Amino acid sequence: MRIVFHGSNAASFAPGFADLLDVPHEIALLSDGLDAPGETEAYAAAEVVIGIRLSEAQPRLSARLFQVAGAGTDAVDTALLPAGCALCNVYGHEPAIAEYVIAALLARHVPLAAADRQLRRGDWHHWAGNPAGLRGEIGGETLGILGFGHIGRAVAARAAAFGMRVEVANRSPVAAASPARAWPLDRLAEMAAGLDVLLNTLPLTGGTRGLIGAEVLAALPSRAIVMNVGRGPVIDERALYDALRDGRIAGAVIDTWYVYPDGATPAPLPSALPFHELPNLVMTPHMSGWTQGTIDRRRAAMAENVNRLARGAPLLDRLR
């Protein structure tokens, strides 16, 4: 079969990919813009496309499988898939994202870098004998997780191990015993009122856009923080900015955004609003799931789908 990796993100999974295939296949790495000689033709003729986006900007496909090199499919216009073409996504990022979440929570209470800088100047502010240097703990705080899929479950398990109370808001009933309480999505503001941390893990769909809006943010206690490792627009952009700017919540840790690099603007700020000027915000560039472990797990899962396609077996994580 002819397999193409479309774009720099997908190409990250190419090294070692052939070694995981049951039989040899023709593999090509194509640029994001498909602007090198022969790339447009290779893309159009591929039987398997591995990539993260599909739009009118790409040639028409004749593929049997469009394998998204990630969990989110909001950049894939499914109307452009040819008849009979399977669409699959892939996970494997949940351990990395769960570690990111826990690291961010711990960093708010365990100021290792600040204590190091201070002590190098002879400042013993965080010394055990100084009442002003007392710090908090994440154990005993209440974490509210919006969405209880792969990421939500991984975060919940680790948060519970630290002694956090975990509550969940989810579209479907939550069968797992780990959350202290499960809420329906239409009571998200009610859940928010009792939280120390509100974490979004949801993908972007028509039903999730703006789900965390001004009403939910206003319901959070002033001590609370917001975290986003799902998709940026699940949290209303203006409402979040206003809540942080006005100090109505204590802070935020945001990894998924409203503006991303593209060919025309390779290094934009991640929002049209000046989030970068806010002192109560930690900003990261959609890095929470980007680890070698994620690469390895996703590479193996995508190669297995190619093997299954070749032998006519059911595909993993098939969406259509």
DSSP state letters, 189-232: HHHHTT-SEEEE-PPP-TTTTT-B-HHHHHHS-TT-EEEE-S-G
Helix (H, G, I), strand (E, B) or coil at 46: coil
Task: State the residue for tokens 């994001």.
Answer: 32
Beta partners for residue 123, in sequence order: none
Give me the mean pLDDT over the 73-85 stretch. Answer: 96
Q: pLDDT value at position 94?
A: 98
For residues 259 and 265, what is the distance between their CA atoms, to the nearest angstrom?
Answer: 10
Q: pLDDT value at position 177?
A: 65
**pLDDT, tens only, 84-105:** 999 999 999 999 999 999 999 9
Positive/negative CA dihedral, 160, 165, 171, 173 = positive
At 179, the pLDDT band (50, 70, 90 cuts) reads confident
Task: State the residue for tokens 């999974």.
Answer: 13
Four-way CATH pick for 2-92+292-311: 3.40.50.720, 3.40.50.300, 3.40.50.10860, 2.40.10.330: 3.40.50.720
**CATH topology match: 2-92+292-311 vs 94-283:** yes
Helix (H, G, I), strand (E, B) or coil at 48: strand
For residues 75 and 68, what is the distance between their CA atoms, to the nearest angstrom?
Answer: 10
Give me the mean pLDDT over the 152-177 stretch. Answer: 91
Give me the mean pLDDT over the 269-296 stretch. Answer: 98
Domain 94-283 CATH superfamily: NAD(P)-binding Rossmann-like Domain (3.40.50.720)
DSSP state letters, 108-138: HH--HHHHHHHHHTT--TT-TT-GGG----S
Q: Are 257 and 273 in contact (CB under 8 A)?
A: no
Residue 278, burial from CB neighbour count under 10 angstroms (0-12, 13-18, 19+): middle
Give me the mean pLDDT over the 157-174 stretch. Answer: 94
Q: Where are the domains of the chain?
A: 2-92+292-311, 94-283
Residue 46's CB is within 10 A of a number of other CB atoms, namely 27
